[in-house]
Structure 1
Amino acid sequence: MNVAFVCVQNAGRSQMATAFAEQERRRRGVEDEIGVVTGGTQPADHVHEEVVTVMNEVGLDLSERTPREVTFEELQAVDMVITMGCSAEDVCPATWDGENRDWGLDDPDGQDLDAVRGIRDEIRERVVALFDEILADAGHDDVGN
């Protein structure tokens, strides 16, 4: 199973989702079973400072990450595209037949730290639930662990 977390700038929500997904893969020991891709349609120059700050609070360092453009080929190779608050119609190629979901999250750019913490916590909960779902569908016994 390969999942892409995509947003316009790839500088906030999708970066947080990717970091939490990477953490969940390690925690559950499924690095070889679940691939994670992230990117944006119009990437920013750097991850938003407020995002770096609130992710550091939970032990995840995003300071060295650089927003990047997601490619057509990458999207063709994934099973699920999750957009953060922008329609997947603008992201997914017309020929793509995988699943897409839009999480409808607020953009953290320029928001105060309390608001960004709320977005961060919602993303973490959604990523954990997504892993529960993926692993349950794959017949894993350790769902929710």
Structure 2
Amino acid sequence: MPTIPEVLFVCVHNAGRSQMAAALLAHHARGRVAVRSAGSTPAEEVNPAVVEVMNELGIDLSRRFPKKLSTEDVEASDVVITMGCGDACPVFPGKRYLDWDLDDPADRTVDEVRPIRDDIDARVRRLLTELM
């Protein structure tokens, strides 16, 4: 039986971009992809504007919390997608790395975060097509 692909989304604080990307991929993949997210310097909480724009899609991030990036997270993943974490993400041979250049939703309004969410959603949908 084939194993399902594992995807790791990494940003600095794991409070915005990587949280949205992980939730959107999990939502669209419906169990066909293992998804995780982490940050090189995790924040205390998920950005409230991010929680709000994800609620608009029926995806609840209110109980999620930022997690610290670990070597084990990277080792377990087939695809590692970085979003502005710079050199903080460890690199392992045999992994597929993508770097998504996305605006950081920190300190932005809900109206400013919505287009970031939509950009991430489009990228996640393309990724899912590639993985399947």
Instruction: Name the TM-score, length of structure 1 as normaliser.
Output: 0.83
Partner in structure 2 of residue 52 of structure 1 = 51
Partner in structure 1 of residue 88 of structure 2 = 90
Report how far residue 58 of structure 1 moved.
Answer: 1.0
Q: Does 1:8 align with 2:7?
A: no
Partner in structure 1 of residue 116 of structure 2 = 119
Identity of aligned residues (%): 45
| Runs of 4+ residues over 2 Å off in structure 1 | none
Q: How far apart, CA to CA, are the structure 1 residues paired with 2:16 and 2:52?
A: 11
CA-based RMSD: 1.2
Structure 1, unaligned runs of 5 or more: 136-145
Query: Which of the two has higher C-alpha Rg?
Result: 1
- Pairs aligned (count): 128
CA contact (8 A) 2:26 2:33 kept: no
Query: Residue deviations 1:25-72, cap 9 Å, x none?
Result: 21xxxx2x4211111111001000110111111111111101011210
Q: How far apart, CA to CA, are the structure 2 residues paired with 1:4 and 1:43?
A: 15
CA contact (8 A) 1:80 1:99 kept: yes
Instruction: Name the TM-score, length of structure 2 as normaliser.
Output: 0.91
Partner in structure 1 of residue 41 of structure 2 = 42
CA contact (8 A) 1:12 1:107 kept: yes
Partner in structure 2 of residue 129 of structure 1 = 126
Partner in structure 1 of residue 65 of structure 2 = 66
Report how far residue 112 of structure 1 moved.
Answer: 1.8
Partner in structure 2 of residue 20 of structure 1 = 24
Give the secondary-structure state (helix, strand or coil) at the position aligned to 2:80.
strand
CA contact (8 A) 1:86 1:104 kept: no
Structure 2, unaligned runs of 5 or more: none
> Which amino acid in the other structure matches residue 104 of structure 1?
D
Q: Does 1:104 align with 2:108?
A: no
Partner in structure 2 of residue 140 of structure 1 = none
Report how far residue 96 of structure 1 moved.
Answer: 3.8
Give the secondary-structure state (helix, strand or coil) at the position aligned to 1:68.
coil
